[in-house]
Structure formats: structure tokens, C-alpha cells
Amino acid sequence: MNVTFALDALASLLWLITAGLIVLAIVRASRARPVKGLSVSILATAITAVILTTISAGLVFIQPEERGVVISAVAPKGYRETALQPGLRWIVPFFENVKIYPISRQTYTMSIAPNEGQVKGDDSITARTSDGQQVTIDSSVIYAVDPGRVIQLHIEWQDRYTDDLVRPLSRGSIRDAISQFGIEQVYSSKRDELKQIITDQLATKFDQNGLILLDFVLRNITFSPEYAASVEQKQIAEQTAQQAKFVVEQRKQEAEQARQVAQGSADAVVIKSKGDAQARLIQANAEAQALTLLSQSLKDNPALLNYTFINKMGPGVQTVFLPNNVPYLLPLPTANSSSVQAVPQLQPTPLPTALPTPLPLLSPTPTP
């Protein structure tokens, strides 16, 4: 409990006791009873009550979030030039009194909602933009009393600074700032700039009057029903256009995707064709080289051809006929009864497993 309140309570109690003793003394005196002892008690109680009342009137306890302005009947200017700081302070009893001012943060709200702001009912701010459109503003002003200029605030505004300073300055600054912007700028591209202009103006005006602007909150901007309907129609049209643009863009992407797929398929075919052609070219080069090597081998060893011919014959072939006067192996001639009657003396020649040199040509032996 605050010590000053305790002293006030104790002094009040002593005054009540004094009054009760006085009544009791009067009753006893009316009955011709002695009141000497009561007189001493009354005097002692009254003196104690006076002392406590005096002390209580001279002690002031200032809370940490407060500052006190001393109104003085003994000071030359009628007030002390220094505000009382937090703690238990002493003033001249019965000749000075203290006006307490809070220095903590305070919020003044002006809203269309009936129970939100300091003023009951619709307390929003109606303003007109530079193009003549009407808007309604909900806002909050967060401020504090400058601790170093509490005395100035008391001299100029006393405790009327909330209604007579904060409210009119805020509403006027908001209207002035709104009038500098068009309706579309207010709710879209210039909203931050609008808020900054209001904040700067209020900060300057508050500072001139001993207040500190901590923040300005632009809570809501409401348009006239006609303009709100037109904005809604415009937004619907823009959304429809954006949707159509999105569909077109989607179709373009699908077409591009199809083109990329076709291009990829074409590229794959070209790559495969190039690979096949290169493979054939490599194969042809290999065959040419093989033929070149084979030709060189045949040139160096003519009997290789006979050897290859014999190796390629079926495993069941045991005899071959070699015609006369032919230096190379030729397909076997066809024998019939008209051309050859009998060839019992014809000696078959078995196939060798290897031919180091060309085979000699054999001629059929005539029948005797």
C-alpha cells in the first residue's frame, strides 16, 4: 500500500476517534460526570491527527510511469519549474498540490466500430481524395507524454490534451494527407507513402506540444458503396483477363512442349541415321581392308585359294574332278551316258587336308 494512503487512513481514523471522544465528553458533562481524562485524550488524539494529516498532505508518492507537476502558492510562477520524479517526494503541506501525468504509452483509436475507439459509435474519419472520391479511415495513434516537458503540457493543455490535442491533430493530418492522393493510390501503390506523410506531420505537431508520437496505425480504408462496386467489377474483369491469359499461356506451353518432343524425336532419328551410316562406313572400311589383306595374301600365296575352296566343301565330299588345261578350280562338269560311256579307269583323287602348292590338273584316261 502507498505510504501516503496509509497516513491518510490513519489520520482519518484519529479524527474519527477525536470526534467520538468529544461526543463522549459532552455526554458525560451533561450527566455531571468528570471529563478531565477525556479532555487529555481528546487533545492528544487531535494533535496526533493534525500531525499525521500535515505529514500526509506533504508526502507524495510518484509511480515509475508518472511525473508530477507541483502547483505552488509559494513559488514565484505558481508552479515548480521541475517535475517530480518517481519515488516518495515532499511538498509544502496545504500550500502545494501535485498534478500527476502518465508518461506511459497511450493509444487513441478512431474507428467505425461502435465499441473500439475512445468515442462510442462511429468515430471514423471521412476524407476526400484528390479526384473527389470519398473514403472512410480507421486509425490508431500511439503516443506518450514527453517526460521532460510535462510542465509545458500542463500549462498549455492540462488534462485536456487527449480530446483537444491528439484527436483534432490526428483527424486534420489524415484529411490533409488523403487529399494529396488519388483514390487508386490510397488503397494500392501509395498507401505506405500516405502513412509516412501522416506520421511525419503528426510527429512534428506533437513535438511542438510536449507529446511524442510513437506510431501511427492506418487500420482500414473504406470506400463509398458505388466505388466499391466499381472496384469489384474491375477486379472481376482483371481476373477474367488473367484467366484467359493463363489459358493462352498454357496452350503456348503445351504447343512448345509438343514441338520440343517432335524436335527430340527428329533429332533422335537423325542421330540414329548418322550412327547407322557411320557404322556402315566403318563396316565398309573394315571389309575393304579385309579384301585388301586377302588380295595381298592371294598374291603372295596363290595356293591359298585352292585351300580355301577345299575347306569350304562339305565334309561328305571325298572326290573331285579336275579338268585338263584349266589353271584354276572350276565347278565340276556334268557327266552323262552320251558323252562318257564308262570311266572305270578314272582314278579319284582324295582331298588333301592342306595344299602347300597348286594341285596338278588331271585328265581322264581313255578306255582301251
Q: Is the pLDDT of residue 142 over 60?
A: yes
Residue-wise pLDDT for 56-94, tens only, equals: 888 899 999 999 999 999 889 899 999 999 998 999 998
**Which of 57-61, 212-216, 360-364 reaches the highest mean pLDDT?**
212-216
Q: Hey, what's the cell of 212?
A: 511524442
Bridge-based pairing state of the strands 66-72 and 211-223: unpaired
Residue 364: the pLDDT is 45
User: Which residue shows C-alpha cell 481514523?
Assistant: 13
**Minimal CA–CA distance to 202: which of 221, 175, 179?**
175
* Model pTM score: 0.58
CB count, 10 Å around CB of 141?
26
Q: What percent of the chain has pLDDT over 90?
A: 29
CB count, 10 Å around CB of 174?
25
Residue-wise pLDDT for 90-136, tens only, equals: 999 989 999 999 999 999 999 988 888 788 888 899 999 998 888 89
Q: Kindly list the domain boundaries of the chain, sorted by start residue.
A: 3-102, 106-223
Distance, CA of 238 to CA of 243 (rounded, Å): 8
Given CA atoms 67, 71, 75, 81 in this order, what sign does their dihedral have? Answer: positive
Looking at domain 106-223, its CATH class is alpha beta
Distance, CA of 201 to CA of 169 (rounded, Å): 9
List, in sequence order, every residue forming a beta bridge with 235; answer none if it has no partner. Answer: none
Mean pLDDT of 213-235: 82
